[in-house]
Amino acid sequence: ATTAVPHSTMSSRMPPTTPVPVEPSTGERTTESDTDWPTFPTEDVVPLTPMTGPSTAAPLKPKPSGKCSRGQFYCQDGVTCIPALLLCDGVPDCPNGLDEKCGAEAQCPEDEFYCASQDPFVCVPRSFLCDDHDDCFGGADEFMCGVCPDFLCLNGGLCTWTEYERSPVCNCSDGYKGSRCQLLSEPAGNKVALRGAGNTNPIVASVLVVSTFIIIGALAAFIILRRRRANQRKTEMLLNTATYDTSTEETQFH
């Protein structure tokens, strides 16, 4: 069964933050270019247990609460903006874990990604990434293209992208899988053992069938032999009786 790696055992890298300028309040509604993200999620934020161990990423720099740039998600902690593409991917990137409070309907398969939009279907094929068309709210699907952030791939995974496939892809090291190498994969030894066990099932079934036929045949032969012997005994008894009667009659005539 697939096992999620505890976040404390993953790479402790966190997405770098980008400064957000503080603009005076004018009472006017901001435009979509400011990435006016909807209130998501609505439940209270539960702080995560602080991670231990040295961090290889740049330290987070405090910044005033405000909007994140287009294509980013605000963690509502006054500090952190992360690529919105990382929402609901199984890895908590916000220090408070807000990006993973998504609900069961937002848990997408590995070949799809979470896409907040007007469409009721929130899971979109990964082929929609970096196609020069905004499919997700705030252009989240077009934000992280042609780059490999050092915090993207966990557990020694290698991030790659090409000219034709500009969305970053994680190539996981042995023992890990998932869109960001965040899951433990089944050991190769277990797979071989399971595969071998599966191959023996037809052999075992064949042996059982052959054994059943042999047992049935042996029982049938045993019954037939017993009947033949019983018939032979009856025949011998009749012959002996007839011989005895004949000899008795001859004795009486003399």
Question: Is the pLDDT at 146 greater than 90, yes or no?
Answer: yes
Q: Which helix (DSSP H) or strand (DSSP E) does residue 177 occupy?
A: strand 176-177
Nearest partner of 136 among 53, 183, 71, 58, judged by Cα = 71
Residue 83, classed as helix, strand or coil, is: strand
Percent of the chain topping pLDDT 90: 39
Give mean pLDDT, residues 156-163: 95
pLDDT-based confidence at residue 39 (cuts at 50, 70, 90):
very low
CATH of 66-144, picked from 3.40.50.720, 4.10.400.10, 3.90.550.10, 3.40.50.300, is: 4.10.400.10
Amino acid found at 160: T
Q: pTM value?
A: 0.51
Give mean pLDDT, residues 58-82: 73
Length reported for the chain: 254
- The set of residues, in sequence order, having a beta carbon less than 8 Å from that of 202 and lying 6+ positions away, is none
Task: Classify domain 146-188 by CATH architecture.
Answer: Ribbon (2.10)
Strand partners of residue 3:
184
Domain positions in the chain: 66-144, 146-188
CB 179 within 8 A of CB 110: yes
- The set of residues, in sequence order, having a beta carbon less than 8 Å from that of 168 and lying 6+ positions away, is 144, 147, 148, 149, 152, 159, 160, 161
> Is 41 exposed, middle or buried (CB count within 10 Å of its CB: 0-12, 13-18, 19+)?
middle
Q: Within 13 Å, how many C-alpha atoms sit on residue 57's CB side?
A: 17
